[in-house]
Amino acid sequence: MAADKDLYEILGVPKQASTDEIKKAYRKLALKFHPDKNPDDKQAEESFKEAAMAYEILSDEKQRAEYDQRGQRAYRDAHADQFEYGDFSVEDILGRHPDFFESLFGRQFHAQRTPQQRGHDVEASVEIDLRTAAFGGKVELGLSGGSVCTACGGRGVQSGAPPCATCHGTGSVTQQAPDRGQFFSVTSACPDCGGAGVEPGAICRECAGTGVKEGTRRLTVTVPEGTSDGDRLRLRGLGAPGIRRGPAGDLLLLIHIQPDPFFRREGNDVHSDLDVPAPLAVLGGKATARTLKGSAEVTIPPGTSTGAKLRLRGQGINGGNQIVHVLVTVPGKPSEEQQRLYGELAKLS
C-alpha cells in the first residue's frame, strides 16, 4: 500500500514540516477518514491506514531522517513491513497510537474501542556473520514471552460458550460520539464481554482469559542487505502477542556482526590480505583473491611490494569495493635450487 506515494504528500505537509505540523495534519486526516465516521467506505479506511503509516514513520526522528536520506524507494525496500499497513486492522492502528486517539475521542471512547491490549515490545539481540550482513538472509531466534493460546485461538474464552446477552454475540455495540459539536455513530466493543461475544466468565482455563500462554517461541526473521554492526531492526508484530487478540508488539532486534577470519569491514568497503610469492611480486602476473561472493582474479603489477593495495570494484557491500592488501611471501625453507637462484638475483641487485 502507498507503494508510489510520498509520505509527506499523504499527510499534505512539506518536507520541512515540524513534528507539531505533522501531528496536526495526521489528526485532521484521522478525524476525516476514521472508519466509524465512514462506515463501509473501503477507500476511507485505506486513506486512514495510509495516514497512520505516514505518521508513524515521520513522527519518529530516526525513521524520518533515514527516510529522507535513503529516498522513498530505498527506504521502502529496506522497511517493506512498514509499507504493508493493509495487513493491519483498524484496531491494530488504534492500539499502536493509544494516547493519540485518546486525545481525539476521549478516554472512555478509547477504553471501549480497544478492549484488547497491545502486546509489549520485545528487545533481543542476535549474532550474524559478515556475509549475512552484506547480502541479507534469514536468522532463527528463540524468544521468551509467550505465544497465542492454541486452546482458544487467542480469544481468551472457552469454545462453545453461550453468546453475550448485551451484544447478542456480535462483540460490539453502537453509540453516539461527539465530533466538534456534531455526533456520529461509533461501533465499539461490548462493555460487558469486552468484545469476546460470549457470556462474561466463560474464560479459557488454559490461558486464564488472556489469550496468551507463557513459554518460548521460535521465529525466523529476515536481516536486510547491508546491515551494520549495532543496527537495531524494528520488526512489526513480532513482539509479545496481544491480550485477547489485541495487536502484537514489535520486536526490537539488535544486530551484532561476528568478526570474520578473512575480511575487515569499513563502511561499505571490505579489506582482505593476499599472500603473493616473491617471484610473482617481482615479475607481476595474475593471482586469485578471496571475496565475499567467492573469488576474483587480480592483476599483480611488476615490482609490487608488501603493503600495496589493489582495488576490486563492486566486491564490497552495497556497491562498495574490496581493498586487497598485498603480503609478499618468501620460502620459509628454500631448496638448494631456490637458494642458488636467489643468490644470483642478489648479485644482480
**CA pair distance 125, 256, nearest whole angstrom:** 7
Residues 18-31: pLDDT tens digits?
988 998 898 888 87
What average pLDDT does this structure show over 102-129? 65
**CA pair distance 140, 268, nearest whole angstrom:** 25
**CA pair distance 321, 313, nearest whole angstrom:** 5
CA angle at residue 20 from 14 to 25, to 5 degrees?
60
| 268 contacts 133 by C-beta, under 8 angstroms | no
142: β partners: 218
Nearest to 190 by CA among 133, 115, 131, 124: 115
Residue 194 has pLDDT above 60, yes or no: yes
Of 3-12, 164-173, 201-210, 291-300, which has the strongest mean pLDDT? 291-300
Identify the DSSP state of 35.
T
Looking at domain 264-348, what is its CATH homologous superfamily? Answer: Urease metallochaperone UreE, N-terminal domain (2.60.260.20)
Looking at domain 118-146+206-258, what is its CATH homologous superfamily? Answer: Urease metallochaperone UreE, N-terminal domain (2.60.260.20)
**CA pair distance 115, 230, nearest whole angstrom:** 37
Reported confidence tier of residue 110, pLDDT bands at 50, 70, 90:
very low
Between residues 349 and 180, which one has the greater pLDDT? 349
Q: Which of 61-65, 87-91, 122-126, 232-236 has the lowest mean pLDDT?
A: 87-91
Residue 73 has pLDDT above 70, yes or no: no
* Residue with grid cell 466538534, as numbered in its chain: 180
Q: Which of 23-32, 241-250, 283-292 has the lowest mean pLDDT?
A: 241-250
CA angle at residue 132 from 131 to 134, to 5 degrees?
60
Which pLDDT score is estimated for 53? 81
* Residue with grid cell 481468551, as numbered in its chain: 156
Residue 16 vs residues 5, 12, 27, 65: alpha-carbon distances, Å: 17, 12, 18, 12
| 95 contacts 224 by C-beta, under 8 angstroms | no
Which pLDDT score is estimated for 48? 84
Give the type of residue at 91: E
What average pLDDT does this structure show over 200-223? 80
Overall fold of domain 1-116: Helix Hairpins (1.10.287)
Contacts of residue 135, Cβ cutoff 8 Å, sequence gap at least 6? 225, 292
Which pLDDT score is estimated for 182? 47
Residues 155-170: pLDDT tens digits?
777 777 777 777 766 6
Indicate if 264-348 has the same CATH topology as 118-146+206-258: yes
- Extents of the domains making up the chain: 1-116, 118-146+206-258, 157-202, 264-348
Which pLDDT score is estimated for 99? 52
Residues 34-69: pLDDT tens digits?
776 777 788 888 888 888 888 888 888 888 888 888
pTM, two decimals, is 0.55
